Chain A
Amino acid sequence: MAAQIFSAIFVIIIGVGGCVAYFWGANKLVDIVFPSRGVQGAAAIDNLRRQGMIRPWLFVGPAMIILTIYLIYPVVETLRLSFLDRSGGNFVGFANYEWAFGDREFRNSILNNIVWLAVVPAACTFLGLIIAVLTDKIWWGTIAKSLIFLPLAISFVGASVIWKFIYEYRGEGQTQIGLLNAIIQYFGGQPQVWISLPFWNNFFLMIILIWIQTGFAMVILSSALRGIPEETLEAAVIDGANPFQIFWKIMVPQIWGTIAVVWTTITILVLKVFDIVLTMTNGQWNSQVLANLMFDWMFRGGGDFGRGATIAIIIMIAVIPIMVWNIRQANKETGGH
């Protein structure tokens, strides 16, 4: 274990040192090859111009290389693999896509993903907004927000264990140690094996993600609410609007842009949701989702890269509209500069 700590520290030093050495060294090299000091007139100006051309690329170079290897090349390669067979050797045309839409498990995943997409972003945004408004009115609001924000730091696997313990079912006649079943039993209901109830089990998994992400929505929306001009609210009060009217007609329209950002961010997260399903049910009892199905096909029976890549492409297609919207927003903001 000590050896491991040392090797980790060693690597940090090497990695950081390497980065520093690269940037410093490359910068120095440019200065030496194209000196701008100590040379006369036109040559100095020429060298300065050359330096100005090269230096930016030295700065962005490492980032570009890593982005190309880890993100850009894989996108192209995944697209290519989706038209190949399981080992990536033979071209099979659209066979993988045909398989996907004929496969019962895949169709179940698509259906579940649609339910997830319909429920989770809406629930997180709605709850986040309600909590942001309510906590703004009380003196211990900051503490309350901090506690609701907390699950955001917990891993999906950790959260799954936490909630699995809540959903725990023990046979009839035994003490129910899962909180949910204990409450149900207290009120005279029948304890259930929640995570294997077809269709409804999806909602028990969604609750976990909602529990994690509401804090995110709350923080962002809370800061947007603070930005609402005081006068608009005062005017509404003077005009005799009730709190619900103020909320829906004055506050919500003014933070519409922020709501859209929160909604799309959580939407992307939902499309990639994997850990929760893997640890809670691993797709059993009709709770499969695309990201977990993809992981499954990467390794199932030695791995079928063609089908795995196809599922990844389908997730990607769902993300593209958001991606385009983001790029256009960003361009608008920087004025294309």
Chain B
Amino acid sequence: MAVATGKSFASRFGVHIAVLIFVAIWTVPTLGILVSSLRDKDQIIASGWWNSFASSSQTEAGRLPPASAQVEKDGKFVLQGNIFGEGTARNVSAFGVKSAAPTQYPAGTTADLGDGVTLQLNADGTFVMASPKAFEGDRGQRVYYASSAPPKFTTDNYQTVLFSEGIGRSFMNSLTVTIPATVIPILIAAFAAYALAWMRFPGRALLIAVIIGLLVVPLQMSLIPLLKLYNGVGTFFGVPSKTYLGIWLAHTGFGLPFAIYLLRSYIAGLPREIMESARIDGASDFEIFVKIVLPLSFPVLASFAIFQFLWVWNDLLVAMVFLGTEGDQIVLTAKLNALLGSRGGDWEILTTSAFVTIIVPLIVFFSLQRYFVRGLLAGSVKGG
């Protein structure tokens, strides 16, 4: 479809700009957490992530070495060293000795601290403090300074969240929940879809109507009765009520209406001639299904698998109700939600965990986008 109007240079330019703005709004937020997750955690709070390639500046406090480190030189007592320790690439822009005026003196100047005591702090962090009298006490002089640090990127945050914050474990839990909950409904739905599309039996039209009705039943309707049922079963058999088996079956149940609907409309569209010639050759329904329908339905099976995978991986509600909100079994989304509560302001933890959570769907999505789009079109345009 090509609209022939609006061919002027200005309007074409306008379209490019408009699309560029939309793309920016839709990608910049995600980019923000990706960049932040790779930054040093002190820098995340010192400057916005969009400045992460520039040096970040912050005001810090430190202490000079105690009196024991002094040396006597030219009749003066001198303390020398580097405020950052050795081998860092940071810079001091200003310093001070009072918390009320932390940047009183520019770097490189000599500050007069009274009683003939002087302090010089250079841009590279080296300092010289000199006094006519010997320094005393085992606590060094307090110094405040504004420093700028060069951009620093690290994978430390990933190490932290994967191995000490429990995200690694939740990642495995998510896989444990997602894979069976994706595979089990496919087979069950495929058989039902074939029967509903190609076999004649009383009540078929009613069944199809029921399934289309169930497509839109809110999940909320199922939660309380199933929670009661699971608790009842758990008590009756003396088994835990929050198990992987429970959540697999729950996701299977919630995914089935869409699965049957999607597969049925596809399978019903397969050419009648193939089925009939197979039947004339003496093939049973079971053989037709396994040998003809299943292989031909591969695209729609892939579509549904992607849908179900994304839906189960991204689900929070079902996971929280049927696996709980804490403990060893919880999945990534529930873990991320818990971290939002317990590590509210720790953006290095949150951004990194969020990125770990979304990376798998993004990979699946990008590599299989074709099937995803096809399923989306088949699933919504035909019946809604």
A: residues with CB less than 8 A from B are 1, 4-5, 7-8, 11-12, 15-16, 19-20, 23-24, 27, 31, 52-53, 55-57, 59-60, 62-64, 66-67, 69-75, 77-78, 81, 88, 127, 131, 134-138, 140-141, 144, 146-158, 160-166, 168, 170, 175-179, 182, 211, 214-216, 219-220, 223-226, 228, 230, 233-234, 237, 241-243, 246, 258, 261-262, 264-265, 268, 271-272, 274-275, 278-279, 291, 294-295, 298, 305, 308-309, 311-313, 315-316, 319, 322-323, 325-327, 329-331, 333-334, 336-337
Chain B residues within 8 Å of A326, by CB: 212-213, 215-216, 383-384
* Chain A hits for B320, CB < 8 A: 295
B184→A15 contact, CB < 8 A: yes
- Tell me whether B249 and A66 are in contact (CB under 8 A): yes
Chain A residues within 8 Å of B212, by CB:
326-327, 330
Stretch in contact with the other chain, from B109-117, B143-151, B187-195: B187-195
Q: A211 near B26 (CB under 8 angstroms)?
A: yes
Shortest distance in angstroms between B149's beta carbon and chain A's nearest beta carbon?
A: 14
Residues A147 and B216 in contact in the complex (CB < 8 Å), given A59-B199, A75-B221, A275-B317: no
Can you report 9 A-B residue pairs in the complex whose CB atoms are below 8 A from each other? Answer: A27-B284, A60-B196, A67-B256, A81-B225, A148-B23, A150-B27, A177-B48, A323-B217, A327-B209
Question: Does B226 make an interface contact (CB < 8 A)?
Answer: yes
B46 touches A165 (CB 8 A): no
Asked if B357 is at the interface of the complex by the 8 Å CB criterion, the answer is yes
Using Cβ atoms and an 8 Å threshold, which residues of chain B touch A69?
229, 253
Contact with A155, one of B25, B245, B361, B364 (Cβ below 8 angstroms): B361
Contact indicator A15/B377 (Cβ below 8 Å):
no
Bound together, the chains give a CA A4 to CA B226 distance in angstroms of 26
Q: Is the CB of B49 within 8 A of A177?
A: yes
Enumerate chain B residues within 8 angstroms of A74, measured Cβ to Cβ. Answer: 221-226
Complex contacts, B365 vs chain A, CB 8 Å: 150, 152-153
Q: Which residue of B is nearest A178, CB measured?
A: B48
Chain A residues with Cβ below 8 Å from B204 are: 56
Partner of A154, one of B194, B223, B358: B358
B333 at the interface (CB under 8 A from A): yes
- Please state if A67 and B214 are interface contacts (CB–CB under 8 Å): yes
Decide: A264 and B384 in contact? CB cutoff 8 A: yes
Chain A CB within 8 A of B201 CB: yes
List the A side residues contacting B250 at CB < 8 Å: 70
A residues near B175, Cβ cutoff 8 Å: 8
**In the complex, are the beta carbons of B188 and A66 less than 8 A apart?**
yes
**Does chain A have a CB within 8 A of B277?**
no
* Max chain A C-beta neighbours (<10 A), residue from B29, B286, B384: B384
| Cross-chain contact A62 with B191 (CB below 8 angstroms) | yes
Shortest Cβ distance from residue A132 to the other chain B in the assembled complex, whole angstroms: 10
A115: shortest Cβ distance to chain B, in Å?
19
Of B2-10, B119-127, B133-141, B152-160, the segment with at least 4 beta carbons within 8 Å of chain A is B2-10
A15, A214, A233, A295: which contacts B180 (Cβ < 8 A)?
A15
Task: State whether A175 touches B46 (Cβ < 8 A).
Answer: yes
Binds A, one of B11-19, B83-91, B92-100: B11-19
What are the 5 A-B residue pairs with the smallest beta carbon separation, nearest first? A70-B253, A155-B314, A59-B195, A63-B192, A153-B365
Cβ–Cβ contact B358 & A138, under 8 A: no
Contact residues on B (Cβ < 8 Å of other chain), bracket:
35 or more
Interface of B is mostly: helix
B369:A225 contact, CB within 8 angstroms:
no
- B218 contacts A by Cβ under 8 Å: yes
Question: Which residues of chain B are within 8 angstroms of A153 by Cβ–Cβ distance?
Answer: 310, 314, 358, 361-362, 364-365
A59–B176 contact, CB under 8 A?
A: no
State whether A312 touches B224 (Cβ < 8 A). yes
Contact check, B19 vs A135: say whether CB atoms are below 8 A apart: yes
User: How distant is the Cα of A4 from the Cα of B3 in the complex, in angstroms?
Assistant: 56
A225 and B1 contacting across the interface, CB-CB below 8 Å: yes
Say yes or no for B382: interface residue by CB 8 A criterion.
yes
Q: Are B172's CB and A1's CB within 8 A?
A: yes
A223 touches B377 (CB 8 A): yes
Q: Report which of A73, A147, A152, A330 forms a contact with B225, defined as CB distance below 8 A.
A: A73
The residue from B18, B29, B188 contacting A162, defined by CB atoms under 8 A apart: B29
Tell me whether B179 is interfacial, beta carbon within 8 Å: yes
Q: Which of B187, B207, B289, B350 lies in contact with A165, CB distance below 8 A?
A: B350
Contact of B19 among A138, A155, A315 (CB under 8 A): A138
Distance in angstroms between the alpha carbons of A216 and B310 in the assembled complex: 14
Known: A57-B201, A131-B19. A63 touches B188 (CB 8 A): yes
Is B22 engaged at the interface, CB distance under 8 Å to the other chain? yes
Q: Does B82 sit at the interface, judged by CB under 8 A?
A: no
Stretch at the interface among B30-38, B62-70, B297-305: B30-38
**8 A Cβ contacts from B236-295 to A:** 244-245, 248-250, 252-254, 256-257, 260, 284-286, 289
Also in contact, A158 and B336, with CB within 8 A (given A19-B187, A59-B191, A237-B3):
yes
Interface pair B347/A246, CB less than 8 Å apart:
no
Known: A5-B172, A27-B286. A226 touches B26 (CB 8 A): no
The reply to whether A161 and B217 contact each other, CB–CB distance below 8 Å, is: no
Known contacts A1-B172, A31-B284, A309-B224; decide if A155 and B358 are in contact (CB<8 Å).
yes
Report how far A329 CA is from B310 CA in the complex, Å: 28
Interchain CB contact under 8 A, B383 and A330? yes
- Let me know if B101 is at the binding interface, CB within 8 A: no
Distance, CA A141 to CA B18, complexed state (A): 12
B157 CB to closest chain A CB (Å) equals 14
Q: Residue on B with the closest CB to A68?
A: B253
Task: Determine if B217 and A166 form an interchain contact, defined as CB atoms under 8 angstroms apart.
Answer: no
A177-B45 contact, Cβ under 8 Å, with A153-B310, A275-B316: yes
Across the interface, do B1 and A161 meet the contact criterion of CB distance under 8 Å?
no
Given the known inter-chain contacts A60-B191, A81-B225, A294-B220, please indicate yes or no for A211 contacting B29, CB distance below 8 A: yes
Contact of B286 among A24, A312, A322, A333 (CB under 8 A): A24
Q: How far is the CB of B188 from chain A (nearest CB, A)?
A: 5
Contact A138:B49 (CB < 8 A) given known A59-B191, A147-B27, A294-B220: no
Contact A329/B26 with A66-B249, A153-B310, A246-B3 known, Cβ cut-off 8 Å = no
Residues of B within 8 A of A149 (CB): 369
Please name 9 further chain A to chain B contacts, defined as beta carbons within 8 Å, in addition to the given A63-B256, A312-B220, sorted by A numbering. A60-B192, A66-B252, A66-B256, A67-B253, A78-B222, A135-B19, A161-B354, A162-B33, A311-B220
Q: Which of B12, B23, B347, B382 contacts A147 (CB 8 A)?
A: B23
